A and B are shown apart, each in its own frame.
Chain A
Amino acid sequence: NAGVMQNPRHLVRRRGQEARLRCSPMKGHSHVYWYRQLPEEGLKFMVYLQKENIIDESGMPKERFSAEFPKEGPSILRIQQVVRGDSAAYFCASSPLDAHEQYFGPGTRLTVT
């Protein structure tokens, strides 16, 4: 049973470009969560999605960030007009039912130059 998959694993973007991060949950999981880990900081919740629904986006910055989990395909975290402060590791997690344990993917390390 494949785990949570994320791609790309490493992404380099210049300031002002767009970053798209993808997450495929574990088989049988319909709940997806995105977290961000800034250098030397802890994991911070960003958004919780179910298929075609955003359940909780209380951790998402108000501008430039968006997330979706379409009926078909992976969940996408999109960052528009990236700035140096967006450089971080972005982790996706999934769970089979709401509020059960979450299983994390390997993360995408975004570097903004």
Chain B
Amino acid sequence: EDKVVQSPLSLVVHEGDTVTLNCSYEVTNFRSLLWYKQEKKAPTFLFMLTSSGIEKKSGRLSSILDKKELFSILNITATQTGDSAVYLCAYSRAGGTSYGKLTFGQGTILTVHP
């Protein structure tokens, strides 16, 4: 059965710390893995990864996918209180009519204290 698991479930850090969030998956016909940030509203798109070993970067955030070991990590450096949110990873599958469906993990709750 396909699944996606995020760890840790919650994390508390202080401003300036670096955090690494994990997402492991088992998916048949894997196509892509996506990261979103959700505050008390809509999920905001961060990254989409399809190729193994290629890092995507945006400011203090970066992400990489390992298709051999079936996981992805999201790194946030020099954290700020505004980074406090739930971080979601999701996968999509290739083929059939299910390619539009994103399946989400349970999320990691990140709290950044001043």
Contact = CB atoms under 8 A, between A and B. Distances in A.
Interface of A: 4, 31, 33, 35, 42-45, 48, 55-56, 58-59, 91, 95, 98-107
Contacts of A48: 97, 100-101
Interface size class of B (residues with CB under 8 A): 20 to 34
Given A42-B88, A43-B43, A107-B41, A99 B99 contact: yes
Given A42-B88, A43-B104, A45-B103, A101 B45 contact: yes
Looking at B31, B48, B97, which has the most chain A CB atoms within 10 Å of its CB?
A: B97
A103 B102 CA distance: 12
Interface of B: 31-32, 34, 36, 41-45, 48, 88, 90, 92, 94, 97-107
A68 to B, nearest CB: 16
A35 B36 CA distance: 14
A45 B31 CA distance: 17
Contact of B41 (A59, A98, A106): A106
Nearest to B50: A99
B100 A33 contact: yes
Given A42-B107, A43-B88, A99-B92, A91 B42 contact: yes
B98 A102 contact: no
A101 B34 CA distance: 8
- B36, B48, B102 — which one has the most chain A CB atoms within 10 A of its CB? B102
B42 A107 contact: yes
A48 B97 CA distance: 9
Contacts of A95: 100
B101 A45 contact: yes
